Structure 1
Amino acid sequence: MQPPVAAVIEAHGTLGRLVAGLNDQQVAEASALPGWSRGHVLAHLTDNARMFARLAEHALRGELVAGYDGGVDERNAIIEATAGRSAAEHRAELAAHAAGLEAAWARAVEMDWGRPVTFRNADLAATVFARWREAWIHMVDLELGVRPDDWPEDLAVHAIDFLLGRVPAGTRVRAEDVRRQWSVGDGPPGTVVTGRVRDLAAWLAGRTPAVSPVSAEGLPALGPWPPHPPQRPDRV
């Protein structure tokens, strides 16, 4: 599958415009994520771009490297160390690392997208989809006016594909506005959850939908975010 590079570049543009007028006080204010300021979210988005660029640059040379040599502890330390940047510093660093990531992807040809990376034991194409999710979901977390209703429809469809494992086996998820249905597992049909595609994606992502999806049996409890690495022993 061709990764949505152009869509991620568009998301980067939206993110840049979103933070263009941000001041230092707003950066220090709480985000929608518990315990994180807007500065934490911006630090994460910035370093996420740097990390994916690192993976891409090595993958294009046929090399496998860890996203973070120090694992999740290093990731968290970087976020904590850089969350307190000024608004201007956040804008500059975010723009620079987003541009660096786009430049790395621009060097990829069609065969390169299948090159393996350590992120989720997947391939280079998967990191493009991951960045697409990260950008749009965390724009909502910044609480600067972007809502799940602003997500592109194809991003919402992809997010449902990615997050479907959070609901119990047998659940059916039905997007009435785009006439799409997803089924979880091979078990007998169970709960049917219906709603608009963006609302379903927001619900599965743990964000607040504009209109809550509904189910006759009540919405099922969501399981954890898909694990990293994924629990798929058949993955090459």
Structure 2
Amino acid sequence: MIPTTAVAEAHRRLHRALDGLTDEQVREPSPLPGWTRGHVLAHVTDAGRALADLVEKALLGVLVPLYDPRTHDRDGIIEATAGRTADEHRRALLRHSVRLEDAWARVRDWDQHVDYRDGKLSSTVFARWREVWIHAVDLDVGLGVADWPEDFAVHAVDFLADRLPGGVAVRAGDRRWGSGEAQVTGPVRDLAAWLSGRSSGDGLTGDLPELGPWPSGARRPPPPARRAP
């Protein structure tokens, strides 16, 4: 199932949480090194723009990369727009969120080829789902790991389980990822928070290993979580 409705709800939750954001709060540091809340908002907004461009072009039969270095300076755009006022950030984020949802509503084949991750249009939906919920935590505007829907947390662990070193498995209830003898257990939201770097592993039991890099580029879909014995 492609979670377009779930991503639209994530958009709505984030937009509501930003209602009371002030210009001063935009300029305050975020948990991400060197980034203010404005930088995080600029990143989430521009990622929405890039995904909307990719989907809209794909619907016209045109393949474009998510970020074309010949036409878009990703870091430069973030730096240039981080200093927007709170109202400007809200308007820009809403504009590109709506564009993206409207483009997805016109998709008839989620397996249609695109120049992004696993090569399917469906990957844009899952990427945006991760982008919104994970960076909502970084924004510290009242949305935290506890607000992550359980199905999102399961997806996040599916996606991020590649960060686990060999020989280590993680388990949440009757779900288990990996096949190692060493095991980290806990609620699925806590596992997702740790694997995404949004917690130090609070709520988890077991020896927490050093995690590998964030998955990037084209990749095979992760194997589904299997029921633990």
TM-score with structure 2 setting the length: 0.91
Q: 2:128 aligns with which of 107, 128, 131?
A: 131
**8 Å CA contact retained: 2:145, 2:193:** yes
**8 Å CA contact retained: 1:113, 1:125:** yes
- Report which of the two has the higher share of helix: 1
Query: Structure 1's 147 and 100: CA in aligned 2 closer, same or farther, altered over 3 A?
Result: same
Segments of 5+ residues of structure 1 without an aligned counterpart are: none
**8 Å CA contact retained: 1:11, 1:132:** yes
Q: 2:205 aligns with which of 199, 214, 217?
A: 214
Counterpart-to-counterpart distance in 1, 2:71 and 2:212:
21
Partner AA of 2:191 in structure 1: L
Please state how far the C-alpha of 1:140 moved relative to its aligned partner. 0.2
1:183 alignment counterpart = 178
Please state how far the C-alpha of 1:171 moved relative to its aligned partner. 1.5
Q: Name the stretch that deviates more: 146-155 or 204-213.
A: 204-213
Partner AA of 2:211 in structure 1: L
Cα deviation digits, residues 179-234 of structure 1 (max 9, x gap): 211115xxxx331010000000000000027833111xx111101001223389xx
Query: Structure 1's 231 and 66: CA in aligned 2 closer, same or farther, altered over 3 A?
Result: same
Partner AA of 2:175 in structure 1: R
Segments of 5+ residues of structure 2 without an aligned counterpart are: 222-229
SS at 1:156 equivalent: helix
Partner AA of 2:52 in structure 1: A
Query: Structure 1's 174 and 71: CA in aligned 2 closer, same or farther, altered over 3 A?
Result: farther
**8 Å CA contact retained: 2:201, 2:208:** no
Please state how far the C-alpha of 1:121 moved relative to its aligned partner. 4.2
Counterpart-to-counterpart distance in 2, 1:194 and 1:27:
36
2:87 alignment counterpart = 88
SS at 2:96 equivalent: helix
Q: How does 1:25-40 map to 2 (within 5 A)?
A: 25-40=24-39
TM-score with structure 1 setting the length: 0.89
**8 Å CA contact retained: 1:3, 1:126:** no
Count of residue pairs the alignment pairs up: 221
Report percent identity of matched pairs: 54
Q: Name the stretch that deviates more: 112-121 or 26-35.
A: 112-121
**8 Å CA contact retained: 2:112, 2:120:** yes
Query: Structure 1's 72 and 169: CA in aligned 2 closer, same or farther, altered over 3 A?
Result: farther
Does 2:195 correspond to 1:204? yes
Counterpart-to-counterpart distance in 1, 2:117 and 2:41:
22
Query: Structure 1's 83 and 34: CA in aligned 2 closer, same or farther, altered over 3 A?
Result: same
